[in-house]
Amino acid sequence: MFGLMGKILRVNLTESKITEEEIPESMARMFLGGGGLATKYLYDEVKKGTDPLGPENKLIFMTGPLTATTCPSAGRYSVVSKSPLTGAWAQSNSGGFWGPEFKRTGFDGIIFEGASPKPVYLVCEEGKAELKDAGHLWGKKVPETTDLIQEELGKDFKVACIGPAGEKLVRIACIMNDTHRAAGRCGLGAVMGSKNLKAIAAKGSIPVKIANPEAFKEVAKKQYQLINDSMLKVGLETHGTNLLLDMVNVRGGMPTRNWQIGMFEHVEKVNGPALTDNLLKDRVACYACPIACGRVSRIKTGKWAGKEGEGPEYESVVLLGTACDVDDLNAVTMANFLCNEYGIDTISAGSIIAFAMECYEKGILTKEDTGGIEIKFGDADVLVELTEKIGKREGIGDLLSEGVKRMSEKLKKGSEEFAMHVKGLELPAYDSRAVKITGLGYAVASRGGDHMTGYIQGPTFIDTPFLVVEDSKIDDVYSPKPHDTKVLNDLENALTMFDVTGTCKFMGLMLDAKEWVNLIANVTGLEFTIEDFRKTGERVVNLARAFNMRDGFSRADDTLPGRLMKEPMPEGPAKGHVVDSLDTLLDHYYEERGWDKASGKPTADKLKELGLENTIADIWN
């Protein structure tokens, strides 16, 4: 199949053995690449009951057929594994430049298996790969690791690596690439650390073979221009993703004080314009991106003056800021920088600190537990201090590094009700009591409490029509209808295709499915239709679901924190609302998906329809 390099690297870290494997054509046609292909490998190779941090787990990096082409935003790669945070299927995805550079070394992806007896890093260059000693890199933060590798190999190598958090098996550790971009969610940095794998450096110039190069070039150029001229681009380019903060706040869905309330009083101190006016140094774009939503920020005043890095994004500002009741944007930015340097997920880190603050407020955590730190809401210094302690797994940071699910199971005393996670993954920055269908999105996402699987927040919280599905209209955010579950289903199938092809989901807002099909058909040479587009996405969603079901997950895991279902929102537009209809929504959603209502498993008929017959015995016997 064109678009793919056609082969992957298999790196057995236990034996320091590297082999090349061809990707079977039939597999490529069914799963295309990226998160799809990686999920297929994971399902086939990681057995039920595998310890996520044991050598039997696999860590799979995969680019897509559009990665490294001239398609707009085609700079992304996926990492797929079993999560140490959730015990479920995990996919994390990142932009920047590492993905395209790696693909041009001549491979679509890498499967890491086993565990190295000592720290190593992998170097991929022009069709070759070798493991190198990483003893001197162990313990180093992300920027230092990246710099040292580039000093050794050359500045033109792109680096993906873990920081100290991944080495210390912090369950929210991420994998960073190009110093500042994160494959952030699900703790896959800890899987990398468990394998004693510090980094992957890549340099390549092998071109991607495109089936219809002239037609592809023309379509890609047209789409690039269309996005470049789009009104939707303007806000993102001007203020970054943090431009959303005002609208979510006005709707009363802004997680504040660990989701105790839905509006943040000092929003003007932390919103998009505040970031632009006070911290923005430069705007940066990922590979082939016309938008440039990335922020280079510099703290100009106060104790962290002079500190520079990238971010913060919308999600990071909310979880590290409003969720912790911190209105000091310098502190939020500093905490964000520390997350990137130690290699931890900003969403989970902020959520954990907010949870700890509420536990302290309620006397569930005391000064004796915290090593003398008063973990109070609104304390900017504590936010920064705790972020660093999580990164180092130091003191109280050791408990915090486990994530809110494990923390609440240990602390008990009712803290389970306000531990804001689904399946162990901390929730992102939209309170479902203000838009109830988003609660269904969190509940059913295979990687846990996640907004990017279906991004139903787009057509609801921020009122953006999604052209990539036929219908994304949600009429009443407080009274979800059966129709809304179809919208979520369709969005999940469609947005999965961005992870599969190696492109950015922001483009899913701006281009319709026909245009994406045109790009995929011209790069792969397949006769690819809109039906194929939707079916491929659906196949991947179902395979991830089957992975979880094989490991014992069930309908009971498709749930929400007690706070969202039982505690009425105390004020604002959503005052008095709870997510009260989850069970009914699940029934409709399962029916839409062809999943068994009692167990939540995909039915045998559905699995057959999608060509996933091999999973039926695994989950039904």
Partner 1 sequence: MDIEIKLFFDLIKYLPSGTDSNTARISVAEGTTVGSLIDSLNIPSEIQKTILVNGVKACNETIINENDSIAVFPPMAGG
Does residue number 464 form part of the binding site for partner 1 (CB under 8 A)? yes
The strands making up 77-82's β-sheet, listed across from edge to edge, are 17-22, 7-12, 109-113, 59-63, 77-82, 89-94
CA distance 449 to 459: 18
Q: Which stretch binds partner 1 (CB under 8 A): 203-211, 325-333, 457-465, 599-607?
A: 457-465
In the complex with partner 1, the residue whose CB is nearer, 211 or 247, is 247
Shortest reach from residue 429's CB to partner 1, in Å? 8
Q: How many residues bind partner 1 (CB under 8 A)?
A: 39
Does residue number 252 form part of the binding site for partner 1 (CB under 8 A)? yes
Does residue number 278 form part of the binding site for partner 1 (CB under 8 A)? no
**In contact, 616 and 608? CB cutoff 8 Å:** yes
Does residue number 292 form part of the binding site for partner 1 (CB under 8 A)? no
CA distance 140 to 145: 6
Residues 6+ apart with CB under 8 A from 9: 18, 19, 20, 21, 107, 109, 110, 111, 124, 129
Alpha carbon distances (Å) from 143 to 55, 137, 347:
27, 11, 20
Does residue number 510 form part of the binding site for partner 1 (CB under 8 A)? yes
Query: Using the rule CB under 8 A, which residue among 74, 244, 352, 469 binds partner 1?
Result: 244
262 closest CA partner among 391, 108, 38, 433: 433
In the complex with partner 1, the residue whose CB is nearer, 92 or 536, is 92
- Residue 365 structure tokens: 């955590």
DSSP E strand stretches across 39-177: 59-63, 77-82, 89-94, 109-113, 120-125, 128-133, 158-161, 175-177
In the complex with partner 1, the residue whose CB is nearer, 243 or 546, is 243
In the complex with partner 1, the residue whose CB is nearer, 401 or 438, is 438
**In contact, 484 and 474? CB cutoff 8 Å:** yes
157 closest CA partner among 121, 185, 192, 184: 121
Does residue number 323 form part of the binding site for partner 1 (CB under 8 A)? no
Shortest reach from residue 189's CB to partner 1, in Å? 23
Residues 6+ apart with CB under 8 A from 235: 243, 272
Does residue number 55 form part of the binding site for partner 1 (CB under 8 A)? no
Shortest reach from residue 121's CB to partner 1, in Å? 33
Strand partners, 283: 295
Does residue number 235 form part of the binding site for partner 1 (CB under 8 A)? yes
Q: How many helices (H) and strands (E) does the chain have?
A: 27, 17
Does residue number 462 form part of the binding site for partner 1 (CB under 8 A)? yes
Query: Using the rule CB under 8 A, which residue among 231, 368, 372, 556 binds partner 1?
Result: 231
Query: Using the rule CB under 8 A, which residue among 128, 205, 221, 234 binds partner 1?
Result: 234
What is the pairing mode between strands 128-133 and 158-161? unpaired
Does residue number 504 form part of the binding site for partner 1 (CB under 8 A)? no
Shortest reach from residue 273's CB to partner 1, in Å? 8
Alpha carbon distances (Å) from 204 to 60, 128, 318, 578:
19, 10, 38, 52
Q: Which stretch binds partner 1 (CB under 8 A): 38-46, 456-464, 489-497, 517-525?
A: 456-464
Shortest reach from residue 224's CB to partner 1, in Å? 16
Shortest reach from residue 232's CB to partner 1, in Å? 4
Query: Using the rule CB under 8 A, which residue among 76, 198, 239, 606 binds partner 1?
Result: 239
In the complex with partner 1, the residue whose CB is nearer, 4 or 434, is 434
In the complex with partner 1, the residue whose CB is nearer, 142 or 267, is 267
Amino acid at 88: A
Residue with tokens 């804001």: 420
Q: What angle do CA 183, 241, 92 make, to 5 degrees?
A: 15
In the complex with partner 1, the residue whose CB is nearer, 573 or 594, is 573
- 584-587 contact pairs (CB < 8 A, 24+): 585/436, 585/437, 585/439, 585/440, 585/480, 585/484, 585/485, 586/440, 586/443, 586/444, 586/555, 586/558
Does residue number 246 form part of the binding site for partner 1 (CB under 8 A)? yes
In the complex with partner 1, the residue whose CB is nearer, 82 or 251, is 251
**In contact, 326 and 269? CB cutoff 8 Å:** no
Does residue number 6 form part of the binding site for partner 1 (CB under 8 A)? no
Does residue number 459 form part of the binding site for partner 1 (CB under 8 A)? no
Of residues 142-161, which lie at the interface with partner 1 (CB under 8 A)?
none
CA distance 325 to 255: 9
Query: Using the rule CB under 8 A, which residue among 10, 58, 171, 251 binds partner 1?
Result: 251
Query: Using the rule CB under 8 A, which residue among 42, 574, 585, 619 binds partner 1?
Result: 574
Does residue number 562 form part of the binding site for partner 1 (CB under 8 A)? no
In the complex with partner 1, the residue whose CB is nearer, 244 or 411, is 244
Does residue number 477 form part of the binding site for partner 1 (CB under 8 A)? yes
Binding residues for partner 1 (CB under 8 A): 231-236, 238-241, 243-244, 246-247, 250-252, 268, 272-273, 293, 314-315, 429, 434, 451, 455, 457-458, 462-464, 477, 506, 509-510, 572-574
